[in-house]
Amino acid sequence: MKHESALFTLAAIAIASAMSTGCSSPPPPPPTVNEILASEIVVLNLSSSAKSQADVKGAGRFMEVVNPLSVVALPGGGKRAQVRLRNTTQEQYAVRYSFIWFDADGMEIVRRPPRTPAIDPLSTLSLTDVYIEPNGSSAEIEMRLLPASEATDDGLYSFDEAAEQLVQKFEADAQFDKAYQAVAAKLGADRKPVIVVRALENNVVGERLASKLDSLAKDFRKEVRKAGKFDLKEDESTQLLVDRIRFSADGGLESGELLNALKTHVSPDFVLTGELVSDSADAYRLDLKLLDLSGASGRGGTIAWEDKAKIRKAQ
- Going along the chain from its start, the domains and CATH numbers come out as 33-150 (2.60.40.3230), 162-312 (3.40.50)
Q: How far apart, in whole angstroms, are the C-alpha atoms of residue 283 and residue 167?
A: 20
For the ranges 48-52, 144-148, 154-158, 224-228, the lowest mean pLDDT is seen at: 48-52
Which pLDDT belongs to residue 17?
Answer: 53
Distances (CA, A) of 203 to 140, 219, 287: 41, 20, 11
Closest CA to 267 of 227, 230, 294, 240: 294
pLDDT of residue 190 exceeding 50, the answer is: yes
Give the Cα separation of 244 and 236 in Å (integer).
11
* pLDDT, mean over the chain: 75
Mind listing the pLDDT tens digit for each residue in 18-69?
455 555 677 778 778 777 777 665 556 666 444 444 445 556 678 888 777 8
- Rounded to whole angstroms, how far apart are CA atoms 135 and 73? 12
Q: For residues 169 and 93, which has the higher predicted lDDT (pLDDT)? A: 93
Q: How far apart are CA 214 and CA 196, in angstroms?
A: 14
pLDDT in tens, 65-98: 877 788 888 765 678 888 888 888 899 998 888 8
pLDDT at 277: 92
* DSSP designation for 221: H
Angstrom distance (rounded) from CA 308 to CA 294: 24
b/e per residue, 239-262, with b = 16+ CB within 10 A? eebeebbeebeeeeeebeebeeee
Alpha-carbon distance of 165 to 220, in angstroms, equals: 10
**Closest alpha carbon to 271 in 194, 207, 204:** 194
Does the pLDDT of residue 182 top 60, yes or no? yes
- Report in angstroms the alpha-carbon separations of 23 from 27, 288, 303: 12, 61, 63
User: How many percent of the chain have pLDDT more than 90?
Assistant: 6
Give tens-digit pLDDT for 237-276. 544 544 554 555 554 445 555 445 444 546 788 889 999 9
